[in-house]
């Protein structure tokens, strides 16, 4: 069991702008992941479910995009995504966060 606790969702729940809220959440997770000895355990899956539930709705102006947005956020918050972007590809965490926020915004149908 890893000693470092998962980031507290309260740190980003109060942020009004959905893209900023997602950025803060991802930055916290991407800071947490390197503290682990390996892939996170089962408790992480329920944490991810909660994060998707909290982070997705503000992006879903179009109900038809809800599943796509939720999938994009689930991908962005996952340990394997962080591992691929930061550990394997060598991106700095800030660039990985920006890339994932852009992906979610695109999934939501936002432009620019």
pLDDT tens figures, 54-103:
999 998 777 888 999 999 999 999 999 999 999 999 999 999 999 999 99
Instruction: Scan for tokens 């997705």, then name that residue.
Output: 56
CB 39 within 8 A of CB 79: yes
Q: What is the DSSP string of 54-88?
A: HHSGGG-SSGGGHHHHHHHHHHHHSHHHHIIIIII
| Model-wide pTM > 0.85 | yes
Domain ranges of the chain: 10-107
Condensed to tens digits (0 to 9), the pLDDT of residues 35-63 reads 998 888 888 889 999 999 999 999 877 78
The two tokens of residue 37 are 């000895």
């Amino acid at each position: 069991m890893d000693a470092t606790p998962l980031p507290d969702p309260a740190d980003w729940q109060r942020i009004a702008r959905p893209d900023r809220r997602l950025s803060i959440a991802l930055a916290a997770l991407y800071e947490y992941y390197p503290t682990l000895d390996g892939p996170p355990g089962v408790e992480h899956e329920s944490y991810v479910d909660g994060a998707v539930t909290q982070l997705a709705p503000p992006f879903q102006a179009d109900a038809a995009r809800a599943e796509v947005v939720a999938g994009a956020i689930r991908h962005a918050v996952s340990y394997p995504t962080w591992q691929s972007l930061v550990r394997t590809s060598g991106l700095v965490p800030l660039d990985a966060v920006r890339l994932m926020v852009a992906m979610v915004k695109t999934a939501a149908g936002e432009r620019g």
